[in-house]
Amino acid sequence: MDPLETDKYMIISDSGIPEYIVSITVAAFAKVGTTSLLVFPPGEKHKDLSTVQDLCRKALDLGADRRTAIVALGGGVTGNIAGMVAGMLFRGLPFIHIPTTLIAASDSVLSLKQGVNLGQSKNILGFYYSPKVVCVELSFLQSLPEREIRSGLCEFVKNVLAILPHEMEKHRNLLKASCQYRMEELQQVIELCIEAKMTVMRDDPYEKNHAVVLEYGHTVGHAMELIGNGKYTHGESIAFGMLCASTISRRLGLLTSNEADLHRELLELIGFNAIPPISWMTEIERYLLRDNKKGYRRHVPGKTGFVLLNGLGSLNQEAGSFITYVDDALVRESIRYHMETSPLFLV
């Protein structure tokens, strides 16, 4: 009997995962127990309760019981969906993460948050549920297209700016626009991201206080990601959100011009230029009204809550909270500035 006391494995993956990765994983688990593969369509639009419910039914039809482990094989969307399935079936089954994207390996698998979308609200339905095992197979990441590597590097840049700025010079030379990385370089990226996340989550595992810094760039980024419906990756969306947040912080006197400019400089080093069109402005504003950080503080009319930096590596506090309310006019101005002055990345 294995340490998890399981003898059945339900591997959840989306249909876009390369066949060789699926075959290797299924074969590995089949050596230690009865293994089934559950597949759902890829994309953010399928990250909802209907997909979770469908997968739960399939798992039960395939014989899932209390000795079954749920295995997430894929990126962040798959991890969240499988995490919901694991947490809900039998009021909690062992959960195993096997990330197949750089951003999942360096970001989402390190969080206890499992969640799905509801309408125009991202990650609004969910709970905290810990994986029992996280296994990063670096060879799975080497076949990723450049754009997926760049998406993960956006998370790397966020962690350097927001949590570990003292590591910047040490790792700066690692960044390259070509996104052609050796296995040991990918390992270096993942290790820094793990260090950053553990630094803030060690004493705040539910991300209620200072670990909310991990949401840096997510206010505008989540809106961009939802509106795009797959047009932009999670990393690209959060990177644009960071640019907007850095401009807001500069205007509020929280970041110097050099610190704000460093955001764009580091993102340019990895070849980032994913900027949404100006025509999205009204829709982004509408999505900001449904941001999932609402409620950390009492809402202030005419303002939007942001995670902002007060100097690199330092989270701004306002009225005893790590959420800063920003005038909607300044929010609009900052978003528009980056839409109008940055090169567009047409997908």
C-alpha dist (Å) from residue 312 to 168, 246, 263, 265, 338: 11, 10, 10, 14, 20
Q: Name the active-site residue from 44, 148, 207, 215.
A: 215
CB 328, CB 299: distance < 8 Å: no
What residues does 37 pair with on adjacent strands? 11
Catalytic annotation present for 215: yes
Instruction: Count helices and strands (H / E) in the chain.
Output: 13, 9
Three-state secondary-structure class, residue 81: helix
Place of tokens 């195993």: 96
Strands (E) in the chain, as ranges, are 8-14, 34-40, 68-74, 95-99, 113-118, 121-128, 133-134, 303-306, 324-327
Token representation of residue 191 = 């290790």
Rg over alpha carbons for the chain, rounded to the nearest Å, is 20
Token representation of residue 218 = 């997510």
Residue 239: φ, ψ to 5°? -65, -45
User: How many beta carbons lie within 10 A of that of residue 177, not counting itself?
Assistant: 14
Token representation of residue 55 = 């997968």
CB 323, CB 211: distance < 8 Å: no
Token representation of residue 339 = 């839409």
Catalytic annotation present for 113: yes
Q: How far apart are CA 94 and CA 236, in angstroms?
A: 32
Q: Which residues contact 262 (CB under 8 A, 6 or more apart)?
A: 161, 312
Q: Name the active-site residue from 113, 231, 293, 303.
A: 113
Give the catalytic positions in this structure.
113, 215
